[in-house]
Structure 1
Amino acid sequence: MHTAPLPLTKDVVLIGGGHTHALVLREWGMRPLAGARLTVINPGPTAPYSGMLPGFVAGHYDRNALDIDLVKLARFAGARVILGSAEHIDTDAREIHVAGRPPIAYDVAAINVGITSAMPDITGFADHAIPAKPLGRFAASWHAFRKADGPAHIAVMGGGVAGVELILAMTHALRTRGRLTQATLIDRSEILADTGNKARRCLRAALTNLGVTIIEHASISQIEAERIVLSDGRAIRSDFTTGAAGARPYSWLAHSGLDLHMGFLSVDEYLQTNEVDVFASGDCAHFDAAPRPKAGVYAVRQAPILFHNLRARLTRAPLRRYHPQKDYLKLISMGDKTAVGERFGQTFSGAWVWRWKDRIDQGFMAQFRNFPQMDTPALPPEHTYDLPESLGDKPMCGGCGAKVGARALKATLLAQPAIQRGDVTALPGDDAALLITGGQRQVISTDHLRAFTADPVIMARIAAVHALGDIWAMGARPQAATANLIVPKLSPALQARTLREIMVAAGGTIRGAGAEVVGGHTSAGDELTIGFTVTGLCNQPPITLAGAQPGDALILTKPLGTGVIMAAEMAGQADGAWVATALAGMCQSQSNTAELLRGANAMTDVTGFGLLGHLLGICVASNLGADLTLEAIPLLPGAATLTSRGVRSSLFDENAAMLPEIATGGLQDLLFDPQTAGGLLAALPAGQAKALLPKLQEHAHDAAIIGRMVTSAGTITLS
């Protein structure tokens, strides 16, 4: 019996990718809630783990060891990930505002955005210092500084455990590289005031052994480019200054209408704010019933409670109380691979403590690197004999990777009867047709994409850019568009939210290209599909595939690799940063680029048939060949790595079959990779191409001359 997908009825939105939310996402992947659509909002594709930051700063871990990949985690959880910073939560409208996109509606929301150690009250801090939190920005800045050359002066403001741990790690890293000149720790009172006597003595000894200068009972007047000026007039040289004093909430929380305690979100024993459908956890929250210090261990312990209570609000089950532990194990790194530990008044130190801490930290991070393999649905006991072969051994790709192969498409088109109307011209090989209306040239095309990302806004922008590609490739200026949408089964409220997000996002892209959205059609189906029929006006004969000339240079305006990256993302094999870069590139309009290329002899957009498939179209139509310079072809970050691992889009084999004379393997496989919202491929005189390239790169940074047209008809060679 066929089982239809269950409709989604409620939106659960996690604001921030902190430790609590990361654990909630992992648990959700193992036990999803039917009917709930899960979303996580975070400024970037990764979330650094605070426990391993000192080890990273000291050089014991690389950057990747520090990060939880939220894109992979969201894929496992079945959640959509929105890369952007939350700026406001409107609890009346039940919406979260993120810059550059429509508001995100919620039925139940949770906030886990951490804190900042920025010091806005100190003159010059914003310009010349780096707060230790948020961790992502600090880690990136420190990585760049540590890799540089020359003598180094460093300073940390704040003598609590976090500040001491940082200055010890920074000092160790720079001494190891032979760069350290001076390290300074500054505090307005006495350092380590909240630490037990034995642990304090141990950490002070470590500071002394590493030559750290300690300045206590000092206030800071201002921070300059290469020095810190104290209120008593003393100046401390510092090339890298960071602040680790205290914890400050993000300012947007103050305008949320939620109850606050000294700027932090007040939560009760259920982790609820004063709004019962808004929860908060981690450092951004203040636990009213039993206040606790800002420490990651509490965020971790809150995760099971938050996971249960989010679901309970949607299932009408009883909520669970959070009971924080009275004390927790403190493990403090001392720069080298030694550490001091403290709990219940007991203190211990040595290399074995660091190894213990390392095992704990590595165990925590392993949860986000090795996801449990969920069982795939078994085939019915009785099925056609060739059903397993048709299913294949991997999920069908989305975007252009889901398109019908070139051979089947060509056979279908050849079977169509000849056009009878004199005002309609089909251009062989081109995806758009030419219409003559009142003496005006108009081109028309349609395209749609099966969704490969759960974010309707990103998907709508990509689908709009993708559909406009046919208009731009013919040298036309976009005029009008109608939408063709299939939305998955949703409750009426979620349907309205999703359609609004799609149309606002797509409308912005299409209007930005100079066209208008004038209507469309919607229907419900099993999965999200977004398409547009678009028209454009030509004040000159359209650019087709057939106009290339011998010696023309070939310009490609976007890097290759979207197919392999999105195929890897579906399988949980692509780094989140690679996916974020690929999605941003697919959203990139080519309006300005197309305008510069309107003088091309031949042009196409590189989409489902891959670079070689679309270049072959130019070669056949122009009765020429092409010679490509493999090393000149721009690639997306991660594309080469994934290809070397054997990752392929599900359309790869069909594309490779179009040019069997070109061997597959290695980087050459990316030439057959189906692209979604890919670049324009233009043939134009070599001198013109060379002069135009710098202007193109102002709008399309990766634009490159990748080869030339040659006289040997229908052949493509690589050099």
Structure 2
Amino acid sequence: MKQTYPLTRDLVLIGGGHSHALMLRQWGMQPLPGVRLTVIDPAPTAAYSGMLPGYVAGHYGRDDLDIDLVKLARFAGARLVMGAVDGIDLAARRISVPGRPSIAYDVAAIDIGITSSMPALPGFAEHGVPAKPLTPFARKWAAFLEADGPAQVVVIGGGVAGAELAMAMAHALAQSTREAEVRLIDRSRALKEATPSGRRKVLAAMRDLGVEVIEEAQVERVEADHVALSDGRTLPSRFTVGAAGAQPHDWLAKTGLDLHDGFITVGETLQSSDPSVFATGDCAHLSHDPRPKAGVYAVRQAPVLHDNLVATLSGGTMQSYWPQKDYLKLISLGGKRALAEKWGRAFSGPLLWRWKDHIDLAFMTKFKELPKMEAVSVPRTAADGLAEILGAKPMCGGCGAKVGRGALRGALAALPKSDRADVEAVPGDDAAMLRVGGQRQVISTDHLRAFTDDPVVMTRIAAIHALGDVWAMGATPQAATATVILPRMSADLQERSLAEIMAAAAEVMSDAGAAIVGGHSSMSDEMTIGFTVTGLCDADPITIAGAKEGDVLILTKPIGSGVIMAAEMAGEARGDIVAEAFASMVQPQGAASRILANAHAMTDVTGFGLAGHVAGICEASGLSAAVDIAAVPLMEGALELSEAGIGSTLLPDNKAGAGVVIGAIGPRGDLMFDPQTAGGLLACVPQTEAAAILTALQEAGYPAARIGQMVAGVGVRFR
């Protein structure tokens, strides 16, 4: 059994650059016991710059370009925070991320690359596309490539990066039927950093591709359909790219760290002027041996960074990083040709592109082929049934870790009936109703085993999930108590974790109109977060027993979170799919509940899956449901994962406990039983009001859908 140790120190990596990506991989293979590792990046993926020209030219697919930070963080045992850092308080050792509580650190490292000064050019922010960050650039290029009309492109910046992009775009557009014009502009001399031989070869390659190079030209402004030069010329452009003016991120100037031209000054140990803060890659300036900005240095810095972070956190000996004096420069020439430069000499040809392709793919393979999670082994001698219970994969989190519907119903059925006149409960409903001094109050409780190590995201999901029971009964949230179980950690880390959790909980509850009035905390082997919530009913509560024949079934959110979270735990789900699932789960349902105030019956779709919750309404209302399985909205990627044979550990129990369900077969059918966490509201509304309600939900921002109708009969029929 894998040994887990109490956590005593916080190591935070700011940015998902090449150094940090390699460091995370190394950490996953050899972590430092007692350290809680966090990585902060605005996106779930980080694009690899070396393959961007190949992607633009059409030689690689979009997925080939991305380092999946969600998978990498899972492998490294790190919590991934998806947000953009905008400051560091060195004295308090806290990192500011807008939209969430600050993140404390004992040791931090920064690898955020560079940004572009192009938005300062008049009109560029509105009409231009900076080459960095790479992820949004790649997305906008893909959209432009699929558009119609003249393909007029202007690349501002005649360095190697701009030339590579111009050639790649020209090559890609030559494969289409669109009329294409590609121009490269530089305010001085293009490719001045290249060797004379290399410059001649690249200029020749651009001429062969039809790229017009315009030198000694100053851009005055960028418009939607052209670029205006200071000499009065205008260049038609439908896609204007900024590949010049690289600069450090603005927030670094406010940190108090020593900077060189805005870049973080580091010494041979990669430490900044604050010994607890390290920096690598393009955002760092090597004071002991200055070098130009190039990804090769970030890659070579990674093992030194890893060793020095470990040494700082454990009292070890630091290593020194000394960059190589020169390095092999491989420049893409649009098609499957490349140019190589080193020691003042340049060569080009198809063989060099194959060499570059091999180097780039080998680098990306480090992140694409991470070791799989090992299944829990069963001792040779063990009790009967142990192997079946353990299964071949780890237990899911969220609602995927709940007790099956059959076991829960059996246990609840044995409870004695309450004879209290002030307590009402509908069997199988979301919450109980209390009568207090003439006021009707609903009460419910729920808690979740964490499926993400980010305590803020997990808290928001758990809070929305618990409030779902109140919203499903048409009540207004009133109060909440929190139950928090933390992994074993030091007192300092306990305080940090609880501060993040309670701040996030207070935000969600306050937005819903409820107050947090207390709670309970303890420690165990893993994080669990839950809430007991109350709500007030101004009208009769909406139960699962009021559906009428002919009612239309409306679902406010897509399903699929169970299979996506199961895949994420196994390292099988793409990071962007996981991020979209989180975004769906944290969407509150208060506005939806108000729009559905006239529903005859309502529930929130959670652990029993859509089929189980529809069956609950049918059973309580004495009706059947006809559900159009193709109309049920699915989260992106859920069907593909189900088709791959992935499913939540609760899936078999949900199938067994749903009662009479007909027609839910195959991978899409499995998703009808998929346990949802913080799922949508499932409502039975009058047929005459269904269209207006659906429109109102969609205008309020819910991806709601009409999925079926209540009919006479028994059970649930998918068609």
TM tier, shorter chain? Answer: over 0.9
Say if 1:85 and 1:99, in contact at 8 Å, map to a contact too: yes
Tell me, yes or no, if structure 1 residue 682 matches structure 2 residue 679.
no
Distance 1:223 1:700 in 2: 34
| CA–CA distance in structure 2, aligned partners of residues 580 and 120 of structure 1 | 28
- Structure-2 residue corresponding to 1:88: 87
Change (3 A) 1:619 1:330: same
Specify the alignment match of 1:69 in structure 2. 68
Change in CA separation of 1:174 and 1:444 when aligned onto 2, cut-off 3 Å: same
Match of 1:419, as an amino acid? S
Partner of 2:534: 535
Query: Who is 1:223 aligned against?
Result: 222
Gap change, CA 1:85 and 1:717, over 3 Å in 2: same
How many Å separate the matches in 2 of 1:400 and 1:434? Answer: 23
Task: Write out per-residue CA displacement over residues 579-637 of structure 1, whole angstroms, 9 at most, x where no aligned residue.
Answer: 00001111111111111111110000100000010111100110000000111110000
Counterpart residue identity of residue 332, structure 1:
I
Residues in 2 aligned to 1:373 and 1:527: alpha-carbon distance in whole angstroms: 21
Mean CA deviation greater in 374-383 or 158-167: 374-383
In 2: Cα distance, 1:561 partner to 1:619 partner: 22
Q: Quick one: distance in 1 between partners of 2:545 and 2:276?
A: 60
Stretches of structure 1 lacking an aligned partner (at least 5 in a row): none
Indicate conservation of the 8 Å contact 2:372/2:570, yes or no.
Answer: no
* 1:710 corresponding residue in structure 2: 711
Do the aligned residues in 1 keep the contact of 2:167 with 2:333 (CA within 8 Å)? Answer: yes
Alignment partners' CA distance in 2, 1:358 and 1:175: 21
CA contact (8 A) 1:397 1:650 kept: yes
Equivalent runs, 1:125-164 vs 2, <5 Å: 125-164=124-163
The match for 1:414 is: 413
Deviation at 1:52, TM superposition (A): 0.3
Cα 1:222–1:324 shift into 2, 3 Å:
same
1:492 CA drift (Å): 0.4
Distance 1:180 1:57 in 2: 17
Q: Which residue of 2 aligns with 1:665?
A: 666
SS of 1:589 mapped into structure 2: coil
C-alpha deviation, 1:279, in angstroms: 0.5
Any residues of structure 2 matched to 1:97-136 within 5 Å, and which? 97-136=96-135
Q: Report the Cα offset of residue 97 of structure 1.
A: 0.9
1:11-410 paired onto structure 2 within 5 Å: 11-373=10-372, 378-380=377-379, 382-410=381-409
Cα drift, residue 383 of structure 1:
3.2
Equivalents in 2 of 1:350, 1:3: separation in Å? 51
For the pair 1:699 / 2:704, whether they are aligned, the reply is no
Distance 1:424 1:375, change over 3 A: closer
Q: CA deviation at 1:665?
A: 1.6
In 2, Cα distance between equivalents of 1:348 and 1:374: 44
CA deviation vs aligned residue, 1:441-466 (integer Å, no higher than 9, x gap): 00100000000100000010000000
Task: Name the SS of the counterpart of 1:546 in structure 2.
Answer: coil
CA drift of 1:214 comes to: 1.3
Aligned pairs for 1:538-577 (under 5 A) are 538-577=537-576
Cα distance in structure 2, aligned partners of 1:693 and 1:146: 35
How far apart in 1 are the matches of 2:541 and 2:264? Answer: 59
- Which shifted more, 562-571 or 194-203? 194-203
Alignment of 1:611 onto 2:607: no
CA contact (8 A) 1:171 1:180 kept: no
C-alpha contact 2:9 2:106 (8 A) present in aligned 1: yes
SS of residue matched to 2:483? strand
SS in 1 for 2:96: strand
Conserved? CA contact 1:21–1:303, under 8 Å:
yes
Tell me which stretches of 4 or more aligned residues in structure 1 moved more than 6 Å: none
Secondary structure at 2:81's aligned position in 1?
strand
Deviation at 1:229, TM superposition (A): 1.1
TM-score by length of 1: 0.98
Taking structure 2 as the reference length, the TM-score comes to 0.98
Q: Secondary structure at the match of 1:61?
A: coil
Per the alignment, do residues 375 and 423 of structure 1 end up closer, same or farther by CA in structure 2, a change over 3 Å counting?
closer
Q: CA deviation at 1:389?
A: 2.2
Relative to structure 1, the CA distance from residue 3 to residue 708 in structure 2 (aligned partners, 3 Å threshold; closer, same or farther) is: closer
Rounded to whole Å, the distance in 1 between the matches of 2:533 and 2:675 is 22
- In structure 2, what is the Cα distance between the partners aligned to 1:180 and 1:660? 60
Q: How far did residue 88 of structure 1 move? A: 0.7
Give 1:219 deviation, angstroms. Answer: 1.1
**Alpha-carbon shift at residue 252 of structure 1 (Å):** 0.8
User: CA RMSD, aligned part only?
Assistant: 1.3
Query: Aligned with 2:330: secondary structure?
Result: strand
Moved more, 649-658 or 663-672: 663-672
Structure 1 residue 164 displacement after superposition:
0.7
Instruction: Provide the identity percentage.
Output: 59
* SS of corresponding position for 1:669: helix
Q: Deviations over 1:57-87 (max 9, x none)?
A: 1111111111111001111111111111111
Runs of 5+ consecutive residues of structure 2 not aligned to the other structure: none
1:277-303 CA-to-partner distances (Å, cap 9, x unmatched) read 100000111111111111110010000
Compute the displacement of 1:386 (Å). Answer: 3.1
Q: CA separation of 1:270/1:91 partners in 2, compared to 1, >3 Å: closer, same or farther?
A: same
Would you say how many aligned residue pairs link Structure 1 and Structure 2? Answer: 717
Q: Deviations over 1:156-211 (max 9, x none)?
A: 11111111111111111111113243211111111111111111111111111112
CA-CA distance at 1:5 after TM superposition: 3.3
Separation in 2, partners of 1:653, 1:381: 26
Aligned residues of 1:118 and 1:133 also touching (Cα < 8 A): no
Instruction: Name the aligned partner's letter for residue 520 of structure 1.
Output: G
